[in-house]
Amino acid sequence: MNDIVNRRICFAQRPSGQPTADVFAIAVNEVALPSDGQILCRNLLVSVDPYLRLKMHDRESYTPPLEIGKQIPGGTIAQVVSSRHDDWKAGDLVAIPGGWQNYAVVPGKSATRVDTERAPLEAWLGPLGMTGYTAYAGLLSMGHPKAGETIIVSAAAGAVGSLAGQIGKALGCRVVGIAGSDTKCKTVVETFGFDACIDYRSSTFEDDLRAASPDGYDIYFDNVGGQISFSVQKQMKLFGRIIVCGLISQYSGQNDLDPKSLDEYMRWILVRRLAIRGFIVSDLARNHPEFHETVAGWLKNGQVRLETTLYYGFDQIIPAFLAMLEGRNTGKSIIRIAEAA
């Protein structure tokens, strides 16, 4: 022990429906010193991500359920306090699986270097982090976009969606977004440079989808699932590709589809000869060694923007997570809990 007091956010109870703050509890402990191969880090920036809602269910998924009482995991940008790993020394800035806490002891091999000369700290949780890689590798490895094709992206104002669309544009595609309000749609077009954006809450949603690309869509980068995706599926071109990145509209146990719609869903797969492929970002970890250089270049020349919903202070981690699930964010949701020394 080294007298450093650590505040941690733990999982207190499984929510039913949309989570609230009482799903979490705060615990305090003394930070352990790192063992051989480990580093002790101070978290500076904390990421909140939708997959955590999936982990709150006690059921099989691609990621094991959270256990009651256990620390909430998550990506962080951190500064090394002390190191027992040859690659790292005190003061280094790193991206780590640091979790919702002030300090983390992690294997040195789980850390990646953060280069603030290349891009600001926040970018390493956004375009240059897991979020950016999900958009980049998901679109390229699963969608195989070609210049001139039309891509439609759901949750287009959010972290992954806004990047998937901007990457599509950088590759020479036409890109249409779907988002939850007029204001978000305006941001998607004016800030993220999409060609059009459709409000899924509008009563004319299906007509608007058709009007935005009368010939249909080649690729659907799906972040939401449910009724929105069912509507998009019918607008796909022959041999269209659907990339299932996430199903956030279903994570809290909602089901907005009529049970009969599965038959309809299957029918449209056949009618349009669609390829539908799910992926998890870790599946694609080795596919794109060029990722950092390419996206850092796009950030520099303005083809990709660093857009964040920023919060300040440890106490804002839980509110930021709940706000993101409710759509009260644009771009990547990040909480700054400390400054670099």
Ligand X SMILES: NC(=O)c1ccc[n+]([C@@H]2O[C@H](COP(=O)([O-])OP(=O)(O)OC[C@H]3O[C@@H](n4cnc5c(N)ncnc54)[C@H](OP(=O)(O)O)[C@@H]3O)[C@@H](O)[C@H]2O)c1
Q: Are strands 196-199 and 174-179 parallel, antiparallel or unpaired?
A: parallel
Please tell me the distance from the alpha carbon of residue 243 to that of residue 138, in angstroms, as a whole number. 7
Shortest gap between Cβ of 80 and ligand X (angstroms)? 26
Shortest CA distance to 49 belongs to which of 120, 100, 122, 13? 100
- Judged by CB, which is closer to ligand X: 80, or 224? 224
Q: What are the angstrom distances between the C-alpha of 321 and each of 52, 221, 307, 325, 328?
A: 9, 23, 17, 6, 10
Please tell me the distance from the alpha carbon of residue 314 to that of residue 61, in angstroms, as a whole number. 29
Residues in contact with ligand X, shown as a per-residue x/- string from 184 to 223 under the rule CB under 6 A = x--------------------------------------x
Which residues partner with 210 through β-bridges?
Answer: none
Shortest gap between Cβ of 158 and ligand X (angstroms)? 2
Q: If binding is defined by CB under 6 A, does position 246 make contact with ligand X? A: yes
Shortest gap between Cβ of 237 and ligand X (angstroms)? 23
Shortest gap between Cβ of 315 and ligand X (angstroms)? 21
Please tell me the distance from the alpha carbon of residue 192 to that of residue 253, in angstroms, as a whole number. 31
Residues between 49 and 108 with contacts to ligand X, criterion CB under 6 A? 49-51
- Judged by CB, which is closer to ligand X: 4, or 205? 205
Q: Are strands 236-244 and 217-222 parallel, antiparallel or unpaired?
A: parallel
Q: If binding is defined by CB under 6 A, does position 137 make contact with ligand X? A: no
Residues between 264 and 323 with contacts to ligand X, criterion CB under 6 A? 279-281
Shortest gap between Cβ of 1 and ligand X (angstroms)? 35
Shortest gap between Cβ of 103 and ligand X (angstroms)? 24
Reported for 27-30, long-range contacts at CB under 8 A and 24+ positions apart, including other chains, are: 27/71, 29/5, 30/1, 30/2, 30/3, 30/4, 30/5, 30/6
- Judged by CB, which is closer to ligand X: 323, or 338? 323
Shortest gap between Cβ of 157 and ligand X (angstroms)? 5
Size of the site for ligand X (CB under 6 A): 28
Please tell me the distance from the alpha carbon of residue 209 to that of residue 153, in angstroms, as a whole number. 11
Shortest gap between Cβ of 29 and ligand X (angstroms)? 28
Span from 25-33, 43-51, 105-113, 118-126 in contact with ligand X (CB under 6 A)? 43-51
Residues in contact with ligand X, shown as a per-residue x/- string from 150 to 169 under the rule CB under 6 A = -----x-xxxxx--------
The answer to whether 79 touches 92, Cβ cutoff 8 Å, is: yes
Residues between 9 and 38 with contacts to ligand X, criterion CB under 6 A? none
Shortest gap between Cβ of 11 and ligand X (angstroms)? 18
- Judged by CB, which is closer to ligand X: 6, or 199? 199
- Judged by CB, which is closer to ligand X: 159, or 189? 159
Which residues, in sequence order, are CB contacts of 54 under 8 Å at separation 6+? 61, 63, 251
Q: If binding is defined by CB under 6 A, does position 249 make contact with ligand X? A: yes
- Out of 95, 171, 175, 245, point to the residue binding ligand X (CB under 6 A): 245
- Judged by CB, which is closer to ligand X: 13, or 61? 61
Please tell me the distance from the alpha carbon of residue 41 to that of residue 59, in angstroms, as a whole number. 32
Q: What are the angstrom distances between the C-alpha of 209 and each of 126, 153, 215, 216?
A: 28, 11, 11, 9
Q: Dig out the tokens for 95 from the structure.
A: 């991206």
Which residues contribute to the site for ligand X (CB under 6 A)? 49-51, 131, 134, 155, 157-161, 179-180, 184, 223-224, 228, 245-249, 279-281, 324, 327, 329
